[in-house]
Structure 1
Amino acid sequence: MNTRPNANEYLPLGEKYVSLVPEGHIAEILQRQYDETLRSLSDLTEEQANFRYAEGKWSLKQVVGHIADVERLWSYRILYIARGDAREFSGYEREVFVQNSPFGQLPLREALKDYAAVRQSTITLVASLTEEALLRQGTFNNYPLSARAAAYVIAGHELHHMNILRDKYLT
């Protein structure tokens, strides 16, 4: 699908992410991001991967793990919606997820391996969906959510965090 979602397909806070996604076919955008993210992060040292730009901030590899975990949640929503089993989806507590994830202790290569597996699964799912399936809707935090919008949130969420990584971690 080559069209971005309409604002009535996602909650207002989703605009922060959807607006970052360039024009194009969403599955191809997800693939390009995958390639760029691995190219940008694969050669970092463990010292760089453990870097935190301020007290209380996540390490770079925790950010990578966060991207993968959030993508898992949004892909789950895409699957339910696209298959016609729309329902009310709830949010999650990101700090709890990061605190209870293994990513801070894993080598960076393992965090990237997890990210790669999740992203490849998302690409396969999104690329297989018909336009009709992408336009189906469920509800997220009392707002409509289309499968298409969820795919754009995944892409925009990664763009958001990769911008932060470039600005605060990789300078």
Structure 2
Amino acid sequence: MLKRPGKDEYAPYYETYISKVPDEDYEVFLQRQLDEILALFVQFDNEKTLYRYAPGKWSLKEVLGHITDTERVMSYRMLRIARGDSTVLPGFDQDVFIANTSFDEVSIEVLLHDFKAVRQSTLTLLQTIADSAWSRQGNVSTFDITARGLAYVIAGHAEHHVSIVQERYL
């Protein structure tokens, strides 16, 4: 079972996300979270998926696309660090990502399928990471983080956005 990362395994910024991951079997939580996200977003019709709770805020489709894009980026970082690659990894600008997508033009079904595929890929990747590799540390955009820290960021980041959807879009 993947244990929770120590505070020395990630930058303080990520505590917001990591603190949202419950103390339970990490992979079981990721699978349950996948099911919950699919159930949450499938209930919205096409008109509702374009809803923005305030000017300049993302649509529901953009929120889902952002969760998916971020999981892709964090999984890639986790892979590189777990495999011992010491290359400094760049940051990414979520607003640039959103500005250069067409999420609002894609059906919610396609976006849900994409999220499911990415999450299943993350779950499979976890199976290929040796126990000793979880504590490997790498550098992402000037801060150090372990593979384990990134795994928890993935789950906590998704949980963060699920909370926003439940609070501001429902």
TM-score (norm 2): 0.95
1:6 Cα shift?
Answer: 0.6
Is 1:90 the counterpart of 2:87? The answer is no
TM alignment of 1:55-134, pairs within 5 A: 55-134=55-134
CA distance in 2, matches of 1:132, 1:95: 35
CA distance in 2, matches of 1:147, 1:25: 17
Tell me, what secondary structure is at the counterpart of 2:139? Answer: strand
CA distance in 1, matches of 2:36, 2:128: 22
Long gaps (5+) in structure 1: none
TM alignment of 1:16-31, pairs within 5 A: 16-31=16-31
1:134 Cα shift?
Answer: 1.3
Aligned to 1:142: 142
CA distance in 2, matches of 1:86, 1:9: 15
The more displaced of 150-159 and 124-133 is 124-133
Identity %: 45
| 8 Å CA contact retained: 1:71, 1:154 | yes
CA distance in 2, matches of 1:26, 1:127: 12
CA distance in 1, matches of 2:120, 2:161: 19
Query: 1:90-138: CA deviations, max 9, x gaps?
Result: 2111111001112121111111111111111011111332211111111
Long gaps (5+) in structure 2: none
1:145 Cα shift?
Answer: 0.9
CA distance in 2, matches of 1:85, 1:99: 30
Number of aligned positions between the proteins:
170
TM-score (norm 1): 0.95
